[in-house]
Amino acid sequence: KNEVEQSPQNLTAQEGEFITINCSYSVGISALHWLQQHPGGGIVSLFMLSSGKKKHGRLIATINIQEKHSSLHITASHPRDSAVYICAVPPIGGGADGLTFGKGTHLIIQP
């Protein structure tokens, strides 16, 4: 089973700061998901990436397949970015099994 580690577990920052959340996994994968979970529990898929970098608004996700590492960056952070950010990987070898999730990073952006 793929082991997914996220860091930091908790992060509090001031509005406007550049935020970085890291994710590492133990077994090579074809793609990695970054998810955002709001306080009510709802989950939004932010990115699915298999190589390089993707950008959506103030969010940037990068992945290094060789190093088995991915990062999620938030530029010009805002209090509305406060949420739990989760990385998730598909099963080893692909297939129709569910994702394995990291424990999440609880981000609080203070005004």
Partner 1 sequence: GAVVSQHPSWVICKSGTSVKIECRSLDFQATTMFWYRQFPKQSLMLMATSNEGSKATYEQGVEKDKFLINHASLTLSTLTVTSAHPEDSSFYICSAGRVGGSEAFFGQGTRLTVV
**What does the binding site for partner 1 look like in residue numbers (CB under 8 A)?**
30-31, 33, 35, 40-45, 48, 86, 88, 90, 94, 96-104
Q: Tokens representing 41? A: 């529990």
Residue closer to partner 1 by CB (options 95, 111) is 95
Task: Identify whether the C-beta of residue 73 lies closer than 8 Å to the C-beta of residue 60.
Answer: yes
111 upstream amide cis, omega within 30 of 0: no
* Min dist. Cβ of residue 58 to partner 1 (A): 19
Distance from C-alpha of 64 to C-alpha of 84, rounded to nearest angstrom: 22
Task: Identify whether the C-beta of residue 61 lies closer than 8 Å to the C-beta of residue 54.
Answer: yes
* Min dist. Cβ of residue 47 to partner 1 (A): 10
Task: Identify whether the C-beta of residue 84 lies closer than 8 Å to the C-beta of residue 37.
Answer: yes
* Min dist. Cβ of residue 5 to partner 1 (A): 11
Residue closer to partner 1 by CB (options 72, 90) is 90
Residue closer to partner 1 by CB (options 13, 43) is 43
* Min dist. Cβ of residue 106 to partner 1 (A): 9
Residue closer to partner 1 by CB (options 39, 111) is 39
DSSP conformation class of 57 = T
